[in-house]
Chain A
């Protein structure tokens, strides 16, 4: 499986159409690379993980990528 995942990521790095499919059409990307099961399910539903409040993940602190209640770096 690791090899397939690496192939997907490499293709997304090299080919704008693959990168676009990763963002906008993960189902077709999964078909193309033969992804199934939990990998496919989690990939296709990743937008559910997006922050609910705009900029939530942009509030970062210290030398970690840290989500806080308004603290700065």
Chain B
């Protein structure tokens, strides 16, 4: 007898996360109203031998598929790979160090709709801090957390959905093309995915009914990590902006990064050309339903010092 396909696939990339993965899997299954309708797909993104994902024997392991990559994919390509192995109708994209709120899967069933992406609340495991989706910072192409929920009097749209709590029907994820694999390693994947989703005609709706408690790295761990990821982050920001910004903001963005990160800008620009950022812009312009202007108008977006964003 063949087991029924799961309804929800929890997908997560893991690199040197070790037994944190097992705790995340245990939380996802343990907090679910109907764990029998779930699966977890973990992509081991070339972890060192001591850091490979560890999942407890028994039910947790039965419902978990670990896909090993011997090449470092980066978070975007790793999530895409996990999604390709997922069998659920719904993808719950999260991180390897997360805890789920009780009944989260029932809330997914209640709130998700076609062409809708759910943004769930992210809570710091060590404090009372909560993030309710993010908003875009242009032309830097970063994001700022929303630290209060959307106005309950209106549709709770948010600009950017967090990587630790992105819920989307698999069909929509595939139609959008998943995360941009022209980006590398780390940084910028979720805001780019979010802007592309909006421009395609999807919506991102925030909910406080589902909460993911997330382990934030200590400050010194962040500094070490960023030291290794900085060139990739600069490249990804530039690729994101080249794909979506009005032309008149693109060189402004490049100069901003050149001033801020003089040791990384040249290599980032070389990568940008090699990975076809301008071709990507043309493809998106031809295929997406709306221009970036629509996103600007929908959210009354200003630039990072409060000026109007120019028309494309």
Contacts and interface: CB of A to CB of B under 8 A. Distances in A.
Contact of B191 (A5, A37, A46, A64): A64
Contacts, number: 161
A52 B156 CA distance: 31
B221 A73 contact: yes
Interface residues of A, number: 44
A66 B259 CA distance: 19
Interface in B254-285: 254-256, 258-260, 262, 265-266, 269-270, 272-273, 278, 281-282
In the complex, which range does the number of interface residues on chain B fall in?
Answer: 35 or more
A43 B147 CA distance: 32
A10 B305 CA distance: 28
Q: Which 6 A-B pairs have the closest CB atoms?
A: A13-B269, A63-B163, A42-B252, A65-B142, A38-B248, A46-B255
Interface of B: 75, 95, 122, 124, 129, 131, 134, 137, 139-145, 147, 160, 162-164, 186-191, 214, 216-219, 221-223, 225-226, 233, 236-237, 247-256, 258-260, 262, 265-266, 269-270, 272-273, 278, 281-282, 303-305, 310
Interface of A: 1-2, 5-6, 8-10, 12-14, 16, 19, 22-23, 26, 35, 37-39, 42-43, 45-51, 57-69, 71-73
18 contacts: A12-B265, A12-B269, A19-B258, A23-B259, A46-B253, A57-B142, A58-B223, A58-B226, A62-B95, A63-B75, A63-B163, A65-B191, A65-B233, A66-B142, A67-B143, A71-B216, A73-B216, A73-B225
